[in-house]
Every structure is written in C-alpha cells, then in structure tokens.
Structure 1
C-alpha cells in the first residue's frame, strides 16, 4: 500500500528522451541570427542552452545591443519548434516504461522546466494526457526563468491542484532533487542512460533505474 498521496514526474529524461545539446545549440544560433547576430560567441550560445539565468541573459543581450524580449521570443520559438520536429520525426521518443504511471493508484502530475506548450504537445502526442491529473511547464517569458526548478513554484502549484500533503517527485537531475527537498518532498533520481554517470552533490531519497522502480517504491 502506498505511503504517498501523489507522484509528480519531470518530463524530459523521465517521460520522453531529453533534447540533444546539438539541436538546442542550433536552435539558439538560429535565434541569434533572427535578431541580426550571425556569429554569436559560442560561450553565449552555450550559456543560453545550459539554462541561462536572467542576469546572464541581460549581459548577453547587452553585448550585442539586443532587445532582450525580442531575442528571448526568438529563442523560445526556435527551441520549441526544434523539439516538436524531433518528436514528430521520431528522433525523440517517449520511454517504453511510461505505462507504469497508469498502474499507480494515486493522483499523478508532471512538473517540467520545458515550455508549458511543449509539455502539452508531448502529453497529447504520446497519448499521456489521461495519465496525469495536472501538469506544469514554464511560460515562454524571461520572468519564468526565475521560477524554474530548483525553484518550487510549479511543484507547489501542482500540489495545490492535487490537494495533497505528501508526494514523491521523480526526476533525472540535481535541480529536481533540490526542488523536491525545498518543497518538503521525497525524491527519486532515475538513472537512465543519459545520466548514468552523473555525480550528484545532493542526495535523493531513492535512486532507481527506470519507472518500474518508481512503481515498486510507490506500491511498497
């Protein structure tokens, strides 16, 4: 019998394969070109791909005298389009164990740092809509960068939607574990192939190899 009121899942790297760095890099370079910067500094491109904080984004835009809202709108557009293309052409797929979610006898949700609209597409495209009671990605705004995990903002919104006091958060990154800790939740780090050798500086409550391991934890 489960000891959790709900289970929350990350999306990229948990439900679907994570976006390739090369794809994100090319999308970011295209965004720079859209606003007139044909040869951006590779360090600036990498910073944007890695999840740029607002202060660093301001510095990057100032270096090219860019209007940051215009650049960020281009970046979000091309980043999302590159993801949708790879889902549609089969470059990125859902994991074969996502059906486990339907076996859990508690409410489930998704909390992702990806765009909310991209997450919405993923759930519909891979027929996962009925598996989850709520889901949150971030808005395509500069302000949303401050609300990404390890900020607990979207986790707390999901918990409020589900009207639960305790939940398990399932992720594949250090920021997922930190966000769970800050929200007072237990965490599961899933060591899929892309994060098999990651050294965490924080300790998750549990580590498993796949979502079948999550099912065993939840169902006791």
Structure 2
C-alpha cells in the first residue's frame, strides 16, 4: 500500500542520532554509583542499558540489596541527563532528511521507547514541535518497561490522538521491535536503514524499506 492518512515516527535513529552505547554505559555506572554500588558487574550495567525487563531489574537490585524504585529513578535521571547533554553540545543531532517530513499534509506523531520528557526536549530543541500533532515516550517508571515496543500501547495512543485507523497509517522505525509493534497494531511499517542498522538482518518483514525519509514522503503522497 502507498498513500496514507497518518504517519507515526520513532525518535532515536529515525529523527535524531541514536544514543551512543558508551554514553549509556557511563550513565548506568553513574546511577549505580549514586546508590552506593561502585563496582557493578558488567552484565548488570549492560543489562539496564539494553532490553531490561521488570524481572531482570528486580534480580539486579536484589544482588546489591537495592530498592528497585530508588535505583530505577537514579538510572532514568542519569540516562536522561546524558542524552540532553549530548543534544546540547552537538554530539547528537537531527538527521538532515527530517526536513522532508516536517511539512507532510497528513497528521503525524512520534512514538518512542525513550523517555517522554526526552522526546519533548528533542522536538523543542530541534524546532520540530510544530510538525507533529502528538508524541509519546514512556514514563520514567518501572511499570513503563512493560509498555515498550513491541507492545502496541503507545502506538495505539498516538493513533487515537490523530483520529486515524491503523489500517490507513504508517509507522517509521529503525528496529525489529518497531516492525513487530506496527504489525501487532495493524499499521504498515517502514524500516529505515540508517548507518547504524544498514546491515541488520530482520526476522520480521517490514512493509517498506528505505534509506532516507525522502522516500517516506513519496510513500505517503503517492
């Protein structure tokens, strides 16, 4: 299908550079240190950076006799601060081709696994707030981990805000979880092969694959 009535976009890796792994690792170590753990196991540091589940978080915290809520609050604040610092100092930037989708004549939104407050900052910092009718990131809570993509929760909230059915909407992402979430929610999907995911093998099959957001514009307008 081409020609859509609404488009939802992922944030990191689609609109802006994804966070460098080393930055996330430093932020996670800082979070551990802030709650009194000076030498956490590497697998626990990497675990809270990528793909952490509620059960694994509780397992990690039990290892160091930490209150999960206290530690997770520290982790989220250090992670957010590290991201905002990199946007402010220019380490991370918006992609040049974002300009191609800022004037689409259909309702648009952003749905991200990143913090809602970080998405809000990005849209304001890069002058994109007026280009999107709604946006969702996850709350800084342990419970929000259950709602991350490929869960369809935030996609469905975005569609409801735009007042458009899933069958005529498109979700643009850069990960397999984006493709799966779109499929589960009933949307067509676009996988953007940026430099960080150009050679990634996908088990899920996106509706479309592109290398630039200029191609997304053509999909929407055809």
In 2, Cα distance between the equivalents of 1:57 and 1:208?
35
Residue 124 of structure 1 corresponds to 124
The answer as to 2:84 corresponding to 1:78 is no
Counterparts of 1:141-180 in structure 2, within 5 Å, are: 141-165=141-165, 166-180=168-182
- 2:10·2:111 contact (CA, 8 Å) conserved in 1? yes
In 2, Cα distance between the equivalents of 1:17 and 1:146?
25
- 1:54·1:145 contact (CA, 8 Å) conserved in 2? yes
Give the SS at the match of 1:40. Answer: coil
Deviations 1:44-95 (A, max 9, x none): 1111111201011010000111000000000000000000000000000000
- 2:3·2:219 contact (CA, 8 Å) conserved in 1? no
Runs (4+) off by over 3 Å: none
Q: CA deviation at 1:102?
A: 2.4
- 1:101·1:108 contact (CA, 8 Å) conserved in 2? no
Residue 52 of structure 1 corresponds to 52
The answer as to 2:213 corresponding to 1:201 is no
Q: TM-score, normalised by structure 2?
A: 0.97
Q: TM-score, normalised by structure 1?
A: 0.98
Segments of structure 1 that go 5 or more residues without pairing to the other structure are: none
- 2:86·2:92 contact (CA, 8 Å) conserved in 1? yes
Residue 190 of structure 1 corresponds to 192
**109-118 vs 45-54, greater mean Cα deviation:** 45-54
In 2, Cα distance between the equivalents of 1:178 and 1:55?
22
Q: CA deviation at 1:119?
A: 0.4
Give the SS at the match of 2:172. Answer: strand
